[in-house]
Amino acid sequence: GDSVTQMEGPVTLSEEACLTINCTYTATGYPSLFWYVQYPGEGLQLLLKATKADDKGSNKGFEATYRKETTSFHLEKGSVQVSDSAVYFCALWEAGNMLTFGGGTRLMVKP
Amino acid sequence: NAGVTQTPKFQVLKTGQSMTLQCAQDMNHEYMSWYRQDPGMGLRLIHYSVGAGITDQGEVPNGYNVSRSTTEDFPLRLLSAAPSQTSVYFCASREQGRETQYFGPGTRLLVL
């Protein structure tokens, strides 16, 4: 079945540092890929998505590229802020199925 | 639009008690689902519904019941609470044919 593996956290960075959170997936077909973000005390919000190979999703300075050859969808940001502190979830969706989530990665950004 | 709403925000139960977690959405979405979030395990699907009158089991359905009598509401029932059901519960909805899910703010449940 489908599965998503993401790097374990927590990831602790200083403000303005570069961020990469790794995400790899296993799927039977051609899934859509997502990054969701959960700020403290809140539900999940869609951060970005990509629906086919080589697509790049981007939002709020975050980017992720759908790499079919490596089955990856790594999340990147060039300069993190304290306000980016949150839990980040990688997820995939195949038509007819429900969302499959990774275990989540907690990011802590220190001033 | 209020989006997806959940009540209560926090609940403490004793082992063996029953309760219903409420979920409602005002976006006329066909698909609704319940997830539980546990540390290090991401979100796991409990039950889902593809429309009024239709429900199905997800990855971890044991100990939970659902019903979908209207498009808007999708309550989750704990029949006899157990400490293993201590978790944060999220309800989500999406439009048929669209991938993006919209999540409620969550219900934090503690079973003693």
Task: Report whether pLDDT(B1) > 80.
Answer: no
Q: How many CB atoms lie within 10 A of CB A48?
A: 19
Task: Band the pLDDT of A65: cuts 50, 70, 90.
Answer: very high
Pairing of strands A11-14, A105-110: parallel
Mean per-residue pLDDT, B91-99:
88
Q: How far apart are CA A3 and CA A72, in angstroms?
A: 12
Which of B45, B58, B105 is nearest residue A42 as measured by Cβ atoms?
B105
Mean per-residue pLDDT, A73-100:
91
Mean per-residue pLDDT, B80-87:
96
Contacts of B68 (CB under 8 A, 6+ apart): B32, B49, B51, B52, B53, B54, B55, B74
Query: Coil, strand, or helix at residue B85?
Result: helix
The answer to whether residue B74 neighbours chain A at the CB level (below 8 Å) is no
**What does the block give as tokens for A49?**
């998505």
Task: Report whether pLDDT(B89) > 80.
Answer: yes
Contacts of A73 (CB under 8 A, 6+ apart): A23, A24, A25, A33, A35, A50, A64, A65, A66, A67, A90
Which of B41, B100, B104 is nearest residue A103 as measured by Cβ atoms?
B41
Give pLDDT, residue B71.
96
Note whether A65 and A52 are within 8 A (CB): no
Give pLDDT, residue B32.
95
Residue A78 zone, left/alpha/beta (φ > 0; ψ -120 to 50; rest): alpha
Give pLDDT, residue A42.
84
Mean per-residue pLDDT, B35-59:
90
Q: pLDDT, tens digit, for every residue of A10-49?
A: 999 999 999 999 999 999 888 999 999 999 888 899 999 9
Give pLDDT, residue A99.
85
Give pLDDT, residue A106.
94
Q: Per the CB < 8 Å rule, is A89 touching B43?
A: yes
Mean per-residue pLDDT, B9-16:
96
Distance of CA A84 to the CA centre of its chain: 13
- The overall average pLDDT reported for chain A is 93
Alpha-carbon distance B86 to nearest alpha carbon in chain A (angstroms): 16
Mean per-residue pLDDT, A81-109:
90
Q: Per the CB < 8 Å rule, is B99 touching A49?
A: yes
Q: Per the CB < 8 Å rule, is A43 touching B100?
A: no
Task: Band the pLDDT of B14: cuts 50, 70, 90.
Answer: very high
**What does the block give as tokens for A66?**
């759908």
Which of A4, A45, A93 is nearest residue B99 as measured by Cβ atoms?
A93
Alpha-carbon distance B31 to nearest alpha carbon in chain A (angstroms): 10
Give pLDDT, residue B11.
96
Alpha-carbon distance A17 to nearest alpha carbon in chain B (angstroms): 25
Which residues from chain B sit within 8 angstroms of residue A34, using beta carbons? 99-100
Which residues from chain B sit within 8 angstroms of residue A89, using beta carbons? 42-43
How much of chain A is in helix, strand and coil states, percent to nearest 5?
5, 50, 45
**What residue of A is the nearest CA neighbor of B57?**
A98
Task: Report whether pLDDT(B39) > 90.
Answer: no
Task: Band the pLDDT of B78: cuts 50, 70, 90.
Answer: very high
Q: Using alpha carbons, list the distances in angstroms from residue A97 to A24, A85, A103, B7.
A: 19, 30, 19, 27
| Residue with the two structure tokens 């697509």 | A55
Instruction: Give the mutation candidate from B43, B44, B103 for the A interface (greatest A CB count, under 10 A).
Output: B43
Contacts of B106 (CB under 8 A, 6+ apart): A42, A43, B6, B9, B37, B88, B89, B90
Q: How many CB atoms lie within 10 A of CB B66?
A: 23
Mean per-residue pLDDT, B37-63:
90
Positive or negative: CA dihedral A82, A83, A86, A92: negative
- The overall average pLDDT reported for chain B is 93
Cβ contacts from A onto B, under 8 A: 45
